[in-house]
Chain A
Amino acid sequence: MIDKIIKEGEKYGDVNVILSRNQSLEIGFVNREIASTNEGDTLQLAIRISKNKKFGYATTSDISKWRECLSNAVKIMKVSKELEQKIHLAEPQKFRKVEGIFSKRVLDLPPEKIISKGYKMMDEIDEKLGVPDISISKSFEEVQIANSNGVNAKEKETTFSVITEVNYKDVNARELHISHDLFDIKKIGKEASRLCLESINPKPIPTFRGSVILDYFAFSGLLETVLIPAVSADEIHAKRSFLHDKFGKKVFSEKLTITDNGILKNGLMSGGFDLEGISKQKTKVIDAGVFVSPLYDIYSAKKENKKSTGNCGGINKVPLISPTNFVILPGDYSRNEMIQETKEGIIAKEVFGLHLINKLTGDCSIGVESAFYIKNGEIKFPIKQAMINFNLFEELKKLDVLGKELRQESSVVAPTIKCDNVQIIG
């Protein structure tokens, strides 16, 4: 079918096609009982037609109607306005096979097994805790991309994930893990249970300035919200990024080095190619605090006479850039050492209200969850409710303490960090 679409589409211009199929199974548990079993099998066909500086894009979930989808894309191209420059297609190339993104064990895992894994995991959660929500899911995705330049490639990946929420009275805790392969989910239950037990009897804290230790979820959330958009070449060209005039300049602490690594073994966002058909690769973005490269797709790279970094995240918009595995170089602190070095402050597993951050200025005024008060190098008690207020760019400039352990649950691969003299509101 793809060949037919390309042949037919070539009459109108250059053609890009993405055909994706997703099979998923999700089992949900509520209050230590199975509550939902959902399975799905979905398809999507996306077509982009481009000619010179114009393009049109359309999708359908009914692939028997590909001709209609193609004609919608052509219709849209005709009414669209010209872009600043021509849209180029990827050249045929040999794609690398990335290890660790497909697992037959996940593909073959039957629902009965997931259900029994779920019950075993719940046994790890302390009896006195409530378990309002556990979700265990697996998915299999097959993506085929092709263009009228002769690119045609297919890739399969599997995902297995678990998220659990536990609570006790008005205290709650959450733990999750996502991987391409199976893993021991009992650990996730155990960890959520531990965190919730430690959070019981929270106390209010005063408003003060002190240290804030941000665990993986808190730090990765901030990077995803504020920093990742800022390193996209498109945001930079549009001058929407605070980095737009900072190329080659030192913008952050020299302790901060960030690499976008699309070929990371087992990386959640790893793969052979991006959605335009460019090989995924490694791109150093921040090198010891210096901004060394934005992330590009073909269109944004052409603007600077450069090559795409394999970061095209979709063909519905030109340009459309997204990160792969955004890897922060670890430091050498253990979590305990960070706590020991804190005179007065808090440690927070999660922050909330990320969508409320001002991305332009980096000003963050957010709430903390699963947070503990630290005094004289020791965790003293769980915190009832608190907010923190700081400027992320300023904090990254001063960043001195990074953890040595990395974790990945999204595109960000990051350690725990510690910031000092932050406004904490109790």
Chain B
Amino acid sequence: MDCIDLLKKIEKKGAEFSDIRILEMDSEMISIENGNINLLQKKEALQYGVRVLYKGAWGFSYGNDLKKIGPAFDHALKLAKLSSKKIKKKFEIKNFGAEKAKIRQKGTSYTNIEIKDKIKRLLDCDKLLIKKDIINRTIDAGFLKRKQNYFNSFGANILEEREYFNFAFTAVSKRDSVMRKIFEKKGMCSTYEDFESIDFEKFILKQLKKFDDLFKAKKAPAGKYPLVVDNVLSHVFFHEAVGHACEADSILEDSSVLKGKLNEKIAPSHLTLADDPTIKKEHGFFVYDDEGIKGRETILIKNGILDGYLHSIETASRLNMEPTGNCRAESAIDFPYPRMSNIVLYPGKFKVDELFEGIKKGIYAKSSTGGIVEPTSGNFLFNTKEAYLIENGKITKPLLDVSFGGNILEILNKIEKIANDSKVIFGGWRCGKKAQTVPVGGKSPHIMISEAMVGGKND
């Protein structure tokens, strides 16, 4: 079946725009628990997804059986027609240009490596976790290879291959009937050479040292305190709290606190934030998005002023702006939406030590188990993996399970200092939206927030 012919056919039937994604995915997952392999699987998937735009309305049809792509176009057109009868706010799609490219993944694919070699590597890692106080341990690894063919009626034709790997471990330690857990992960958009070159052994041993502090840790105080936030947590914070609000669909849907704030000052002037899919090997890397638009750095906040949004072709057409190459879908059976890639906070002028200076009582919040933001109100909540009390400018005691919350617009203006220690995260993070997850990453320095709500406990 010829995709270009199908696109032409549906155009003759009245479609203003149409596109097709055909995605092949191979994946392997290995999970080791207490030395036993309890999950070992191979998945193969072949999917298609076709979109048809008719009089400003979308129809989308997807499936696995490639023989049904022709009928799928007809179904999508039928749905678009039904929908167009009702739509009042129509939009005209703009042709921002169509590229043709073939992006091949260089390097050794994990598919060329025997599973038993990967298992051996993971079992070696597992041995490091065998310790008297560790009552449960897991090692997980996942490999994914994806090859997508994209065609649209503007003439775009992109073939892009990418490979990902993830590595994670957990260790539960029990000392005097108290249990504490460490969970850490790494992930990259890269091939097997990088999986091999990472010193997971060193990584694990470094993390295990944190148990001593975790057992000494006390509950954080509840109330409002200054925070120093490390690289990992600050990238999660900017991703959740600011990045999502910059996705242009949320602006159009009226569900972003940043709506109507373009070119307004929303943050201190020492703050510049961007989205950048071109950071090589970081989890959110890609060359072309899922509409065949080339990814690039997009400045979101420039010196404190809201400077841009993240776009799909549709949102750029509707808002009369340029597309940014941020339209992404989890797979071909998902409708693509504006999404972040790698969030980048530009480094500031302070040394990390200088962030702690002058804090009488505060919290040093490190790494994160995740966060959540309510986009309309801008209220957010984050959890730290590790936290410490800051007293008179010095880190004093370890703290447990600190969550902190607040409101985006209020907190942005409370970012007093940004450090100069920018770092690519390589954490294998995924971002969820509209029931889809996509790989994301970032690059961020330490920051100091003058006041945030800390969800501890006052005795």
A associates with B? yes
Q: Please give, as numbers and ranges, the residues of chain B lying within 8 Å of A239 by CB-CB distance.
A: 135-136
B68 within 8 A of A: yes
Q: Chain A contacts of B257 at CB under 8 A?
A: 170
In whole angstroms, what is the CA distance A238 to B33 when docked? 9
| A81 and B376 contacting across the interface, CB-CB below 8 Å | no
List residues of chain A with CB within 8 A of the CB of B206: none
A57 B377 Cβ-Cβ under 8 A: no
A366 CB within 8 Å of chain B: yes
Q: Which of B43-51, B148-156, B345-353 contacts A (4 or more CB under 8 A)?
A: B43-51
> Smallest CB-CB separation from A166: which chain B residue?
B376
Residues of B within 8 Å of A84, CB to CB, are: 36
Residues 68-115 (chain B) with a chain A CB within 8 angstroms: 68, 75-76, 79-80, 82-83, 86-89, 114-115
For chain A, give the interface size range: 35 or more
Q: How far is the CA of A352 from the CA of B453 in the complex (A)?
A: 15
Are A62 and B136 also in contact (CB < 8 A) when A33-B88, A360-B172, A387-B403 are?
no
Is B222 an interface position by the 8 A CB rule? yes
* Least distance between B290 CB and chain A CB atoms (Å): 15
Taking a contact as CB atoms under 8 Å apart, the answer to whether B40 and A57 are in contact is: yes
What separation, in Å, do the CA atoms of A76 and B33 have in the docked complex?
Answer: 17
**A316 lies within 8 A of B39 (CB):** yes
Q: Is there an interface contact between B83 and A361, defined as CB atoms closer than 8 Å?
A: no
Judged by a CB distance under 8 angstroms, whether B38 is at the interface is yes
CB pair A170–B377 under 8 Å, yes or no, is yes
Check A34–B63 contact: CB distance below 8 A: no
Q: A34-B86, A37-B59, A61-B46 are in contact. Are A353 and B383 (CB under 8 A)?
A: yes
* A133 interface residue per 8 A CB criterion: yes
Whether A119 contacts B370 by the Cβ 8 Å rule is: no
CB 8 Å contact bits of A166-189 with B (1 = contact, 0 = none): 010011100000000000000000
Contact A33 B383 (CB under 8 A): no
Q: Is A31 an interface residue, CB under 8 A from the partner?
A: yes
Residue B450 CB within 8 A of the other chain: no
With A and B bound together, what is the CA distance between A33 and B89 in angstroms? 8
A378 nearest CB across to chain B (Å):
25
Residue of B whose beta carbon sits closest to that of A350? B374
| Docked complex Cα distance between A387 and B224 (Å) | 12
Partner of B379, one of A30, A62, A83, A385: A385
Query: Which stretch of A65-73, A148-156, A225-233, A267-275 is in the interface?
Result: A65-73
The segment out of A39-47, A250-258, A303-311 that lies at the interface is A39-47
Whether B41 and A37, one on each chain, are in contact in the complex, defined by CB atoms closer than 8 angstroms, is no
Contact of A355 among B38, B40, B116, B370 (CB under 8 A): B370
**Is the Cβ of B401 less than 8 Å from the Cβ of A115?**
no
Report A121 CB to chain B, min CB distance, Å.
Answer: 14
Task: Across the interface, name the chain A residue whose C-beta is closest to B379.
Answer: A385
Q: Determine the chain A residues whose CB is within 8 A of the CB of B76 once the complex forms.
A: 39
Number of A-B contacts (CB under 8 A): 216
Residues on B with beta carbons closer than 8 Å to the beta carbon of A38: 60-62, 79, 335
* Per-residue interface assignment for chain B, residues 350 to 390, with 1 indicating a CB less than 8 Å from any chain A CB and 0 otherwise: 00000000000000000001111010111101110000000
Complexed CA–CA distance, A202 and B253 (Å): 22
Complex CA–CA separation, A276 to B151 (angstroms)? 41
B333 contacts the other chain (CB 8 A): yes
Q: Is B14 an interface residue (CB 8 A)?
A: no
Which A residues are CB-close (under 8 A) to B147?
none
Residues of chain B contacted by A238 (CB below 8 angstroms): 33-34, 136
User: Which residue from B31, B41, B63, B374 sits with its C-beta under 8 Å from A58?
Assistant: B41
Q: Is the CB of A60 within 8 A of B369?
A: no
At the interface, yes or no: B252 with Cβ under 8 Å from chain A? Answer: yes
A127 within 8 A of B: no
Check: A207 CB closer than 8 A to any chain B CB.
yes
A302-323 CB contacts (< 8 Å) to partner B: 316-318
Q: Is the CB of A81 within 8 A of B79?
A: no
A37 touching B79 in the complex, CB below 8 Å, given contacts A238-B33, A360-B179, A389-B222: yes
Contact: A389 with B80, CB < 8 Å?
A: no
The answer to whether B83 and A37 touch across the interface, beta carbons within 8 angstroms, is: yes
CB distance from B29 to the nearest CB of A (A): 8
Q: Assess A59 versus B41: contact at CB under 8 Å? Given A36-B58, A387-B403, A425-B223.
A: yes
Q: Give 1 or 0 for each of A62-104: 1 = CB within 8 Å of chain B CB.
A: 1001001100110110011101100000000000000000000
Taking a contact as CB atoms under 8 Å apart, the answer to whether A367 and B381 are in contact is yes
Chain A residue numbers with a CB within 8 Å of B55 are: none
Asked if B132 is at the interface of the complex by the 8 Å CB criterion, the answer is no
Nearest-Cβ distance from residue A260 to partner chain B, whole angstroms: 23
Given A59-B43, A239-B136: A40 in contact with B179 (beta carbons within 8 A):
no
Query: Does A111 belong to the interface (CB within 8 Å)?
Result: yes
Q: Mark A8-51, 1 if CB is under 8 A from B, else 0.
A: 00000000000000000000001101111111111100000000
Q: List 30 A-B contacts (CB under 8 A).
A: A31-B89, A37-B59, A37-B80, A38-B60, A39-B76, A42-B64, A43-B64, A58-B43, A61-B44, A62-B64, A75-B42, A76-B115, A167-B255, A170-B257, A171-B376, A238-B33, A238-B136, A317-B38, A318-B38, A352-B372, A353-B383, A356-B372, A360-B172, A365-B401, A366-B403, A369-B374, A387-B405, A389-B222, A389-B455, A425-B453
Given contacts A37-B57, A75-B42, A366-B381, 20 further A-B contacts (CB under 8 A): A30-B252, A31-B89, A36-B60, A37-B59, A40-B61, A41-B63, A42-B47, A59-B41, A68-B44, A115-B82, A165-B255, A356-B382, A363-B400, A365-B403, A366-B403, A385-B406, A387-B455, A389-B457, A423-B222, A425-B453
Q: What 7 pairs between A and B have smallest CB-CB spacing?
A: A356-B383, A37-B79, A132-B255, A365-B455, A387-B455, A61-B64, A365-B403
User: B residues bordering A, Cβ < 8 Å?
Assistant: 31, 33-34, 36-47, 57-65, 68, 75-76, 79-80, 82-83, 86-89, 114-116, 119, 135-136, 172, 179-181, 222-223, 252-255, 257, 333, 335, 369-372, 374, 376-379, 381-383, 400-403, 405-407, 453-458
Q: B-contacting residues of A (Cβ < 8 Å)?
A: 30-31, 33-43, 56-62, 65, 68-69, 72-73, 75-76, 79-81, 83-84, 111-112, 115, 119, 130, 132-133, 165, 167, 170-172, 207, 238-240, 316-318, 352-353, 355-356, 358, 360-361, 363, 365-367, 369, 385, 387, 389, 423, 425
